[in-house]
Amino acid sequence: MAISIPSNQPPPHQFKSIPLVRLLLHILIPSAIILIGVGGYFSLKKLVHINVFGMELGEEKKTLSTRKPQSNKRPMFRTKAMPLEAQDYTIKLRSQGEVRAHNATTLTAQVNGRISNISGKFEDGAFFSKGDILLEIDPADYNTELASSQAQLARAKANFAQEKARAKQALLNWKDAGFKEEPSDLVLRKPQLQEAEATVTSATSSVQRAIRNLERTKVRAPYDGRVSKRRVGLGQQVGGSTPLGDIFSTDFAEVRLPLTTRDLQYYTPPQKPGEHGKKNNITFSSILTGIDKHWQGTILRAEGELDEKSRQLFVIARIDDPFALNSQSHPIYIGQPMRATIPAVMLKKVFIIPRAYMSGLNEVLLIREGTFKRLSIDPIWSGDDIVVTRGGIQEGDHLSIDRLPYAPDGAPVEILADDKPENRTTNGVSKRIGKKRIRPAK
């Protein structure tokens, strides 16, 4: 059976040429785009900017021959520094306490009566000396008592004299009677004589007591001191248990200072009888604002037990002449809070690091042989402003006193002789090189 072919279809050999053309188009067009891009890249490689639509957006790059050679040197840091030298350092312990009186007394009367006179030295804040009369109690009753006791003494003495005479006469009568034996005590009136003598002794004691009571109507100061507070007034009736006022001594004051167990590793307070610290080796300063004065003191003794709550040992320090009565120093007030600086042991050949110049916690930034070296230190002692250490630091090292948190280990550094702003940038990196400096070792 024969198959008929329409007359409008192409001949059979043309079906093979159409896929070939399409294949060539798929290959040639991408290849042309790639070649154009590569050519454009190499042509633009010589330009920094491009001329687009008549606008000049760049300039021709310099060739390798016209470029300036780049330096491979690391940036030079510049900083101020202080030399570190081994030295002896005396540890100074810090403590504080309140000033208290050496002797504080509540004054009381020894006799009853009405206050008849008050001295001007028995006013609040007044000074007095030992033996001064501070106030007086009406002595009228005690004068009468003295006169009565004196009269009783006179009668007792008269009676005693009569008994002695009777005893002597009794002995004569016994002999005149011709008795051969010795007379008895009753004959010689010895019991009556002893009774009369005892009466004289008792009356004498009464007189002495009356004299003392009369003297006690004048209340005297027991020591050199000062009045804290007067508690009675003129005309007031007082007794033996009535508080007249509060007084304290002014010869020296005491300060009770706590020491921690850490402090006791470097300081041994006086512990034996009669032992005390070096005289006036403690420096006191006032915590109160507006008083920029210093006083010297001596540690007298230590308390025998640790405080139950804080586990601290308290030592007692003495400040002589606290009210500046015999000197030109500034007076101290009872109850005034004080800071104390106590010298302790001496550390040999240590390095003292100001705390403000440390770059981190127990870390310092050293300059050794012209380069930076970060070093972690082991503090032997630390205070408010300094840290004392010994290991790791060498003679000739310098301590950077500028804050350079990003300065790398081993970076070259120049030590500035001054701290002018034009000599360094804000981050410590040198703006210019050429000044005299410590060069890093090769």
Q: Residue 117 pairs with which residues in a beta bridge? A: 136
At 211, phi and psi to the nearest 5? -65, -45
| Exposure string for 299-335, b = 16+ CB within 10 A, e = fewer | bbbbeeeeeeeeebbbbbbbbbbbbeeeeebeebebe
What is the average per-residue pLDDT within 290-305? 88
Strand order in the sheet with 127-128: 104-108, 243-249, 225-230, 127-128
- Ranking 56-65, 79-88, 89-98, 255-264 by mean pLDDT, the lowest is 56-65
pLDDT on residue 437: 43
Task: Please check the confidence at residue 183 and state whether its pLDDT lies above 70.
Answer: yes
Which residue type does 437 have? Answer: R
Write out pLDDT tens, residues 345-377: 999 999 999 998 988 888 889 999 888 899 999
How many of the other CB atoms lie within 10 Å of CB of 158?
12
pLDDT for 190 equals 83
Write out pLDDT tens, residues 190-221: 888 888 889 999 999 999 999 999 999 999 99
Which pLDDT score, from 0 to 100, does residue 178 have?
75
Residue 15 pLDDT > 90:
no
Token duo for residue 42: 């190499």
Long-range (24+ apart) CB contacts under 8 A made by 153-161 are 153/200, 153/203, 153/204, 153/206, 153/207, 155/203, 156/196, 156/199, 156/200, 156/202, 156/203, 157/200, 157/203, 159/196, 159/199, 159/200, 160/193, 160/196, 160/197, 160/199, 160/200
The pLDDT score that the predictor gives to residue 19 is: 65
Whether residue 391 contacts residue 377, with contact meaning beta carbons closer than 8 Å, is answered with yes
- Regarding predicted confidence, which is higher, 59 or 86? 86
Q: What is the mean pLDDT of residues 328-332?
A: 88
Do 398 and 82 meet the contact criterion of CB atoms below 8 Å apart?
Answer: yes
Query: Hey, what amino acid is at 424?
Result: R
Contact 250, 323 (CB under 8 A): yes
282 Cβ neighbours under 8 A, 6+ residues apart: 296, 297, 298, 299, 317, 340, 341, 342, 343
**Given pLDDT bands bounded at 50, 70 and 90, which one contains residue 21?**
low
CA separation for the pair 298, 315 (Å, rounded): 10
Which one of 3.60.40.10, 1.10.10.10, 3.40.462.10, 2.40.30.170 gives the CATH number of domain 97-101+251-346?
2.40.30.170
Separation between Cα atoms, residue 402 and residue 415, nearest integer Å: 11
The answer on pLDDT for 324 being more than 80 is yes
- Cα–chain-centroid distance for residue 368? 36
Above 50 in pLDDT, residue 317?
yes
Dist CA 26 CA 228 (whole Å):
115
Tokens of 74: 């690391």
Q: What percentage of the chain has pLDDT greater than the value 70?
A: 80
Instruction: Please determine, for residue 343, whether its predicted confidence score (pLDDT) is greater than 50.
Output: yes
Amino acid 44: pLDDT: 60
When pLDDT is averaged across residues 168-173 and rounded to a whole number, the result is 80
**Is it the case that residue 340 has pLDDT exceeding 90?**
yes
Q: How far apart are CA 28 and CA 345, in angstroms?
A: 94
Q: Where are the alpha helices (DSSP H) in 289-349?
A: none
Determine the average pLDDT of the residues in 130-147.
94
Mean pLDDT along residues 169-178: 78
How confident is the prediction for the chain on average, in pLDDT?
A: 81
Q: State phi, psi for 429 to the nearest 5 degrees.
A: -85, 135
Rounded mean pLDDT, 319-336: 90
Query: Residue 360's pLDDT is what?
Result: 83
Task: Sketch the domain layout of the chain as residue ranges.
Answer: 21-69, 79-86+358-423, 97-101+251-346, 111-247
Question: What's the CA gap between 436 and 416, in Å, rounded?
Answer: 9
Choose the weakest-confidence range: 46-60, 99-113, 351-365, 407-421: 46-60
Residue 233 or residue 277, greater confidence: 233
Model confidence pLDDT, tens digit, residues 391-418: 888 888 999 988 888 888 888 888 887 5
What is the spatial distance between Cα 268 and Cα 323, in angstroms, rounded to a whole number? 30
